[in-house]
Amino acid sequence: MSEKMATRQAYGEVLAELGEKNQNIVVLDADLSKSTMTAVFAGKYPERFFNMGISEQNLYGVAAGIAHSGKTVFASTFAMFAAGRAFEIIRNSIGYTKANVKICATHAGVTVGEDGGSHQSIEDLALMRTIPGMTVISPSDGMSAKLLIQQAAELDGPVYVRLGRAAVPGLYEADSDIQIGKGNCVKDGSDYTVIATGIMVNEALIAAETLEKEGISLRVIDIHTIKPIDKDIIIKAAKETKGIVTAEEHTVLGGLGSAVAEVVVQNAPTKIAFVGLQDSFGESGKPAELLVKYGLTAADIVSAVKSL
Amino acid sequence: MRMNIDYQQLEKVARDIRVDIIKQTFHANSGHPGGSLSAADIMTVLYFHEMNVDPAEPKKYGRDKFVLSKGHASPVLYATLAHRGYFPTEELSGFRKFGSILQGHPDMKKVPGVEMSTGSLGQGFSSSVGMAIANKLDKNPGRIFALLGDGELQEGIIWEAAMAAAHYKLDNLVAIVDWNGLQIDGKNEEVITVNPVDEKFKSFGFHVIHVDGHSLKEIAEAFEEARAQKGKPTVIVAKTLKGKGVSYMEGKAGWHGKAPSEAEAKQAVEELGGEW
C-alpha cells in the first residue's frame, strides 16, 4: 500500500511532475493555490501559472480561451465554486466547445469539515456528469489520483477531477492497473457488491472485513471514473452477486448511485441500496463526526448490505 | 493578410452585410436583427481593414482573433465571415435551420472563422482574455478583439475578466462595446444602468476610446490608437443605433430579437439599397 495522503496533495505533486515533462501545461487558480496545491506548480513554473483571483466564473472562461489557443489547462478551486458557482461557464465555454481543460476541484464532500454546509460540495458529480462529453473522475487515494491525473492530461477534452481535503489511506501502488473508464475490483467476493467512489472505497473495504466475520462475502469495486462509467464491471457484479450497494460522499441524487442504477436497470436488474447524503445539506464538524451523522461509514455500508 | 480598402468600398461591404442580416433573420423567422445592424460598421472595419486574418487558412498561426461576446448578434458575424470568404454566402440562407452550420448563436465547432462559441453573455469576453494571455505566453503576435454589448456589461464576469486583462497587462486585447443603449426590456439606463462606463473601464485599468460606431473612419482610427497602447488593454466604446439603416427598426428595443415579415424585410432591403 502507498502512503496515506490527501488526493489534493497528490494533485499538487503530479502537476509539478507533469509541468516539467510537458511545457504545454498551463495552470490557473482562484486565490486558493495553497489549498488546491497548485502552488507547487506555481513555485516551479511561475511563467505558466496564472492566478485569476477570487473570480471563479472568469477562471473557467479564461481557461477555455487558453485551451483553445493550444494549451492543456489545469484550472483549480474548491469543488463548490467550480462545479457549483461556475457551472454554466463550464457547461458552455468548456463542455460545449470541448475545451482541453482539466477542472481539478478540491475540498469536495462533507470531509471539508468545519467550514460547514455552504462549502461542502455534495452535488458536483451529479452536475458534472450531465455535461455532454465531460469525463468525471473521483479518485479513492493519492496514488490513483496521481495516475488518473496523468492520464487526464493526455486526454484531449474536458475532465472534472474530484479531490478531497483530508488524508486518506493508500490503496494502490505506483504500478497498479488504473485506467480512466475502468473500475477496479479491489476485493473479490461472491454474496454482495459494494460499488464505491472516493473516500468511500476505504469504508467499503472495512465493511467487507466486518461482514466476512459474519460469513458474508463482499465484493468491493472502486469506480474512480463516474463518467464514462465501467458498465461491464457493474453488469458482472449485478449478475454474479445478490445485490449492490453504492457508496459516495455525495448526495444519492444524481451521482454514483444514480449512474450505477442507470446501468443496472437497463442491463441486469437487481436490488440496489444507496449510501450517501439523503437529500440533506451538511454542517460544521470534524470529518469523522460528519461521516457518522450523514451515514457515510463502514457501519452504514454494512447495514445497507443487510437491507438488501 | 491585412486588407486596405478605401472607405467607399467599406461602405459597400457594410451595406451588403446589413442586407444579409435582414435576409437571414427573415428566412429563419427568428434571430436578432437590431443588435446585428448596430454592429455592422464595426465588423466591417475589423474584418476588411484591421484584422490580420486569412480565410483560406482560418487557423493560421499568428492570426488575429475575433470573439463575438454578444453572441446573439450572430447574423452580423455570419454575414461578415461569408463576405470575407470563410464560407459561401449561400450558407446564410440556412441560418438557424436544422442541419445548417449556422446555429442561432455562434458555434466554433461548426463555422470556419468562429474562434469561440458564444451566446451566454460575458463568457466570450472572459475567453478572449484567456486567448490574449496565451498569446502573450507564446509571444504570438496575434491580437484579440472582442465585441461586447452594452447590456452585456451587466454580467459580473465582464468585470472579473476586465480585472484580469488589466492585471496581466494585455495590450494585445481590444474590447469594443456596441453601445446602442437598448436591451430586451428597454433602455439600459432604465433596466439597470452601467454608467458611467468610461470611469468603470478606466478604473479597471483600460485605455478608453470613444467613437461614433457608424463612422468607419473613426472606428479605423480607434483601432490604430489601440495598437499603439502598451501595457494595458483598450476598450472602444462605440456609440451606435440599434437597427441602424432600417427606418422602422432604428432605436426600437422591440427589434432586439424579432424577425421581419416579408413586407418588412423587402422594405428594409430597399432602404439599405440592396437587392431582394
Q: Is the pLDDT of residue B193 over 90?
A: yes
- In chain B, which residues have their Cβ closer than 8 Å to the Cβ of A66? 130-131, 133-134
Which residue from B31, B69, B37 is spatially nearest to B177, judged by alpha carbons? B69
Catalytic residue, candidates A20, A47, A56, A114:
A56
Q: Which chain B residues touch A if contact means CB-CB below 8 Å?
A: 107-109, 115-117, 119-120, 122-123, 125-135, 137-138, 140, 156-157, 160-161, 163-164, 167-168
- In chain A, which residues have their Cβ closer than 8 Å to the Cβ of B170? none
Which residue from B59, B53, B103, B100 is spatially nearest to B81, judged by alpha carbons? B53
Q: Is the pLDDT of residue B23 over 70?
A: yes
pLDDT for residue B255: 94
pLDDT band, residue A3 (cuts 50/70/90):
confident
- In chain A, which residues have their Cβ closer than 8 Å to the Cβ of B117? 92-93, 96-97
Interchain CB distance below 8 Å, B123 and A55: no
Tell me, yes or no, if A66 comes closer than 8 A to chain B by beta carbon.
yes
The helix/strand/coil state of A271 is coil
Would residue A276 be called left, alpha or beta, if left means φ above 0 and alpha means ψ between -120 and 50 degrees? left
pLDDT for residue A17: 97
pLDDT band, residue B5 (cuts 50/70/90):
low
Give the pLDDT confidence of B38-85 residue by residue, as tens digits.
Answer: 999 999 999 999 999 999 999 999 999 999 999 999 999 999 999 999
pLDDT band, residue A259 (cuts 50/70/90):
very high
Tell me, yes or no, if A182 comes closer than 8 A to chain B by beta carbon.
no
- In chain A, which residues have their Cβ closer than 8 Å to the Cβ of B107? 96
**Percentage of residues of chain B with pLDDT beyond 90:** 98
CA distance B169 to chain A (A): 13
CA distance A302 to chain B (A): 47
pLDDT band, residue A110 (cuts 50/70/90):
very high
- Residue A68 has its nearest CB partner, among B119, B131, B157, at B131
pLDDT for residue A24: 98
CA distance A64 to chain B (A): 6
DSSP code per residue over chain B: ------HHHHHHHHHHHHHHHHHHHHHHT-S--HHHHTTHHHHHHIIIII----TTSTT-TT--EEEESSGGGHHHHHHHHHHHTSS-GGGGGGTTSTT-S--SS--TTTSTT--S---STTHHHHHHHHHHHHHHHHT----EEEEEETGGGGSHHHHHHHHHHHHTT-TTEEEEEEE--EETTEEHHHH-----HHHHHHHTT-EEEEEETT-HHHHHHHHHHHHH--SS-EEEEEE--TTTT-TTTTT-GGGSS----HHHHHHHHHHHT---
Kindly state the helix (H) or strand (E) to which residue A110 belongs, with its residue range. none
- Residue A69 has its nearest CB partner, among B135, B160, B167, at B135
Which residue from A62, A109, A105 is spatially nearest to A82, judged by alpha carbons? A105
Q: Is the pLDDT of residue B2 over 80?
A: no
Q: Is the pLDDT of residue A249 over 60?
A: yes
The helix/strand/coil state of A254 is coil
Interchain CB distance below 8 Å, A47 and B137: yes
pLDDT for residue A284: 98
pLDDT for residue B4: 60
CA distance B41 to chain A (A): 26
The C-alpha atoms of residue A85 and residue A107 are separated, in whole angstroms, by 14
Interchain CB distance below 8 Å, B115 and A68: yes
Task: Look up the pTM and report it.
Answer: 0.96
Mean pLDDT of the region B229-236: 98
Q: Is the pLDDT of residue B6 over 90?
A: no
**Percentage of residues of chain A with pLDDT beyond 70:** 99
Lowest mean pLDDT segment, chosen from A84-98, A117-131, B4-18, B158-172: B4-18
Is A56 an annotated catalytic residue?
Answer: yes
Q: Is the pLDDT of residue A218 over 60?
A: yes
Q: Is the pLDDT of residue B1 over 50?
A: no
The helix/strand/coil state of A225 is strand
CA distance B137 to chain A (A): 8
Q: Is the pLDDT of residue B237 over 80?
A: yes
**Residue B228, Cβ neighbours under 10 Å: how many?**
9
Interface pTM (ipTM) of the complex?
0.95
Interchain CB distance below 8 Å, B108 and A26: no
Q: In this structure, are strands A72-78 and A25-29 parallel, antiparallel, or unpaired?
A: parallel
Mean pLDDT of the region A119-140: 98
- In chain A, which residues have their Cβ closer than 8 Å to the Cβ of B113? none
Interchain CB distance below 8 Å, A97 and B108: yes
